Structure 1
Amino acid sequence: MRILVVCQHFYPETFRINDITYELVKKGHDVTVLTGLPNYPEGKVYKGYKWFQNRKQVVNGVKIKRCSLVGRRKSTLMMGINYAWFAIFGCLKAFFMKKDFDVVYVYQLSPISMTWPGILVSKLKKIPLIIHCLDQWPISVTTGPIGKDSVLYKILEKMSIWSYNKASRIIISSKSFKRYFEHELKISAKSKGLTYYPSYAESDYENVGQMENNVFDIVFAGNIGPAQSVETIIETANLLKEHKDIMFHIVGDGLSRQVCEDLSNQYKLENVKFYGFHPVEDMPQYYALADCFIITMVDNEVVNSTLPAKVQSYMLAAKPIVGAISGEVKEVVEEADCGYCTNSGNYEELAQIITRVYNDKEKCRYFGKNSYSYYQSHFEKNKCINDLVAIFKEEIEKGV
């Protein structure tokens, strides 16, 4: 198949779409990616990509076409400009793409407007459009300063409904998304499929082993934004600071990193370390360090309905998971029997959970084994890629 992938983020940024495209190429498919200039998470365009550098690349057999883009910086205004910029210049790039494709696959993170170049190609070339929804729009914006009753939200809602309705099929990364599409956006499974398609983890996270250092190491890996509630981890660490052999490792970056570092410094914590952003290929060393992984999120209807991709990575590494998170993640951890979760923001009970896991090494091994087993049963990579290819073929056979 000749597949056009549209996503505002791509290599050298570290999103799972990178690995998906590499795997599709390995299976013999011709893959082209329409993307912007890498600037996540720092918000500044990477060195080597300014002034028309590397606008065309081939990475692991994937052909990359980049449109103009300004960095998102770390302000809401610049983020909005960044979003609009890709929508406009991505469409311009798409309009002049001469190559023929069999299907368009949009890996839809935020914002919904990143689907527009894909919609344009689908219409121009009369080919199926698959939208893979990982962030529900517009409800995702309510984790920030925009309320559901605002005029801006109503505009974004109309924009989102229009965009999703242009898809031949919508695939969703969380089972809970179906309820949102059907009840809030009035988009039915009958019309758009709403096919559950879970994320998998890169192979880098498998067989990472265990680093022995006589310390119980708890690792958080990923974006440090308002939704991730990493402040809950800092509050937990403050309650456990007398346990000198329990360490918290925060690997990642984002809008809330400085706030969390300031809170850690305010408490004068010596049991918390921040490592900043690292690419996927660097992550196995931190996963090997972990005796236990931790996940926290704010209590929000959007967040509660998502299954962050880090959960699959944690599971593939065969380690226990503890968390302060409600909704689908808590349900999955309980179903897998691979750890303990309390409600979002409950750092006092989270501290008790960590103490319980710390004192029961046999339970740790039990949870780790269950993590890996659940991953293989529900998220195994080769099966996920084959399922995606099958979806593409079904839509191509149906026609537009």
Structure 2
Amino acid sequence: MMNILVVSQYYHPEPFRITDICESLVKKDHNVTVLTGLPNYPEGKVLPEYKFGKNRYEIINGVIIKRTFEIGRGNCKSKLFLNYFSFSISASIKAYFTKDKYDVILFNQLSPIMSGIPALVYKKRHKKKILLYCLDLWPASLAAGGLKKDSIIYNLFHRISKFIYKSADKITVTSSMFKQYFENTLEINSNDIDHLPQYAEDLFSEKYFSENNSTYAKNTYDFVFAGNIGDMQSVETIIKAAYELKDYKNIIFHIVGDGSKLNQCKKLIKTLSLKSVKLYGRRPLSDMPKFYSKADAMLVTLKDNDNISNTLPGKIQSYMAFGKPIIGAINGEGQKVIQDSECGFCCDAEDYKSLAKLILKFSKVDNKEILSKNSYNYYNEKYNKEIFIKKLEEALIELEDK
């Protein structure tokens, strides 16, 4: 049994898989404490039940949660900047002064990379080792967001990122293409990095909802996108594809999620006078199987950007675990997975005309069941949750013993 400190800026009720990972480690009889911030993603405002010092200490499903001060991310760059640094500073202070003893540290590395500084503080003060689980490459994410690589800010964060990555005792990555970036850009030997792709939560593979639980009329072909609606996801590609198919009244698009680009997507739908695109807003994770079960195929899109193409969106694993065909407008790792698994069709990122053609092609194929089976089988072979937790547990034990 290990006492594990997890450093993650995001945690329940925010929609990230780290919650399920921590609860799974508890089920393996480990003690897990999460050092995290105040829930404000993706809306940008701290939830009322966590304001004014409320619920700074919780125990949920066996996981001890210690929350530290954080400014909500808002909807502008200046507020996001404050969000990033407020957590890094306040959590670092908490990590420095805590008297709690842990055997090993797990840093769940999303954006920003600075959220790992508290893990480094605890490591140095208590002489413990860090496993860094990389889901988001830095400073590549800054370049993907439009920051020029020759800018002072980019170069500053390049140094910070390199320092934090090199300070980790072990690195695992969600995408195999991340290794090349570590090697070429950060000058970190990729032989020391393990590939540990994400898995889907249990409710996707269990398929609770019966086929009689109808959400959509089935004289239609229904295509579902579920997840964050931000700049990186390029959901407008789906909306533009829907416009290309506006004369096909039996093709319906369902977009489930929230994010910084939701209002922009609403305006685009209104501008194009689209009746075939339905928005549902943010829904709890427990609602997702209901939407998945009535989809003929799931949609995945990303922005056309070399840095983003290294990423494998976690929704792909969820789609596959539910045994759904996938149609994508995505480059790099995501496109490779869809092609290798033979679970659907894929075109290049942001190519809405080709996406529309693939959707039309899918609606006419006879072997949809084969695509579904390929999707489910590939998930169980490559992304099974039990395999993930076993590998993560072994990596943590290895660091504890060193």
The equivalent residue for 1:133 is 134
Q: Which consecutive aligned stretches of 4+ in structure 1 deviate over 3 angstroms post-superposition?
A: 208-212
* 1:251 corresponds to 2:252: no
Deviation sequence 1:145-196 (CA, Å, 0-9, x none): 3111111100000010111111001111100000000110101135xx2111
Of 226, 229, 232, the residue aligned with 1:224 is: 229
Q: Which amino acid aligns with 2:356?
A: A
Aligned to 2:357: 352
Residue correspondences, number: 395
Structure-2 residue corresponding to 1:60: 61
Give SS of 1:64's match: strand
Q: Which residue of 2 aligns with 1:161?
A: 162
Per mean C-alpha deviation after superposition, the further-off stretch among 35-44 and 221-230 is 221-230
Which of residues 298, 304, 321 is equivalent to 1:293? 298
Q: Secondary structure at the match of 2:128?
A: coil
In the TM superposition, what are the counterparts of 1:15-164 in structure 2 within 5 Å?
15-164=16-165
Partners of 1:279 and 1:186 lie apart in 2 by 40
Deviates more, 1:201-210 or 1:116-125: 201-210
Residue matched to 1:202: 201
CA offset digits 1:250-284 (Å, max 9, x no partner): 11111111111111100100000111111211211
Amino acid corresponding to residue 339 of structure 2 in structure 1: E
Structure 2: tracts of 5 or more residues without a match? none
SS in 2 for 1:165: helix
State whether structure 2 residue 391 is matched by structure 1 residue 387. yes
What CA distance in whole angstroms lies between the structure 2 residues aligned with 1:156 and 1:131?
Answer: 18
Check conservation: 1:115, 1:163, Cα contact below 8 A: yes
CA distance in 2, matches of 1:189, 1:3: 26
Aligned match of 2:330: 325
**Post-superposition offset of 1:353:** 0.7
Match of 2:276 among 271, 275, 288: 271
1:378 and 2:382 aligned: yes
Structure 2 distance, partners of 1:225, 1:57, is: 30
| Cα drift, residue 103 of structure 1 | 0.4
Amino acid in structure 2 at the alignment position of 1:244? K
Q: Distance in 1 between matches of 2:368 and 2:99?
A: 55
CA shift, 1:213, in A, is 2.5
CA distance in 2, matches of 1:276, 1:150: 36
CA distance, structure 1, for counterparts of residue 145 and residue 190 of structure 2: 29
| Residue number in structure 2 paired with 1:367 | 371
Partner of 2:188: 187
Partner of 1:397: 401
- Deviation per CA, 1:302-355, whole angstroms, max 9, x where unpaired? 111110100000001101000111111000011000000011111111111111
Q: Does the CA-based 8 Å contact 1:320-1:364 persist in structure 2? A: yes
Aligned-partner residue type, residue 98 of structure 1:
K
Deviations 1:208-235 (A, max 9, x none): 5544622211000111111111111011
CA contact (8 A) 1:338 1:368 kept: yes
Distance in structure 1 (CA, Å) of the matches to 2:391 and 2:144 = 31
Among all aligned residue pairs of Structure 1 and Structure 2, give the percentage whose two residues are the same amino acid: 43
**Is this contact kept in 2: 1:225–1:255, CA < 8 A?**
yes
**Superposed CA offset, 1:44-83 (max 9, x none):** 0012100110000000000000001110011111001000
RMSD of equivalent CA atoms: 1.0
1:357–1:363 CA contact under 8 A, matched in 2:
no
AA in 2 matched with 1:375: Y
Alpha-carbon contact 1:319-1:364 (below 8 Å) kept:
no
C-alpha distance in structure 1 between counterparts of 2:346 and 2:110, whole Å: 26
> What is the CA-CA distance between 1:395 and the residue it aligns to?
1.4
Which digits, 9 at most, give the CA deviation of each residue in 1:85-137, with x for residues without a partner?
00100101111221111100000000000100011111111111011110000
CA distance in 2, matches of 1:378, 1:227: 25
Q: C-alpha separation between the residues in 2 aligned to 1:69 and 1:130? A: 24
Q: TM-score normalized by structure 1? A: 0.97
- TM-score, with normalisation over the residues of structure 2? 0.97
Moved more, 340-349 or 53-62: 340-349
SS in 1 for 2:50: coil
